[in-house]
A = this chain, B = another copy of it.
Amino acid sequence: MTIQLYGFWRSNAAFRVRVALALKKLAFEEIEVDILSGRQFDADYADVNPEHVVPTLVHDGQPIFQSLAIIEYLDDIRPEPRLLPADASERAYARALASVSAADSHPLTAPRVRKHLGKTFNADAVAIETWCRHWTAEGLAAYERLLTRRPAVPFALGPAPTIADICIAGQIVLADLYGLELAAFPEVAALGRRCFENAAFADAHPFRQPGYK
């Protein structure tokens, strides 16, 4: 089996997929698509992914896109360790937690959104950073409320990390990128520490990627 990942050091969705690949011990080649320079709109990449987003995982020549769909796919083709719980209601909770960042928080800070804020509202760099910090903090606050109601012992769904922990760790990565402190989010911070003790999470962090300066 050969796996290529079209990703980028700063892409939060690529971070999620790198963690999943590492947890499942699947080797892959990463191909850089510089989304800050708009390379996701190049014709070559549009052939790989007509949505013009990263990441795309190519498994034996077949492209799969959208980070949560990729992680679910990896769980199908390489079931161990499981990133989705076996029980239906637990699986639903894991997916819901994943979507708090992947659908409701992270998309609001994507490069195309930052760019559009500048173009539409003349937002300068400071205003755009403030926007990103706001939505990143909103996502962290939602996770804090959820983890307060159902504490992570030690991970969100139980003994081992799942798709939920990957996305919560991704939200912490956004906090790192935007210089947000986690002091107001103690449950999230504690879960994050447990995640980043694991090399699968730590080595996937944007600051550890070759493209990061």
Contacts and interface: CB of A to CB of B under 8 A. Distances in A.
Contacts of A88: 73, 76-77
A69 B92 contact: yes
Interface SS of chain A: helix
A149 B116 CA distance: 27
A134 B116 contact: yes
Interface in A50-71: 50-53, 62, 64-66, 68-70
Most B CB contacts (10 A, CB to CB) among A70, A104, A123, A142 go to A104
A94 B207 CA distance: 32
A130 B116 CA distance: 12
A165 to B, nearest CB: 16
Given A64-B96, A120-B127, A120-B131, A104 B53 contact: yes
Query: How many copies make up the complex?
Result: 2
Contacts of A102: 99, 103
A89 interface: yes
A145 to B, nearest CB: 4
Interface residues of A, number: 48
A205 interface: no
Nearest to A95: B69
A149 B9 CA distance: 28
B145 A66 contact: no
A34 to B, nearest CB: 19
A200 interface: no
- Nearest 8 A/B pairs, CB to CB: A69-B95, A50-B145, A66-B96, A76-B88, A121-B121, A73-B92, A66-B99, A103-B103
Given A99-B102, A107-B107, A120-B134, 5 more contacts: A64-B89, A64-B96, A66-B103, A103-B103, A108-B108
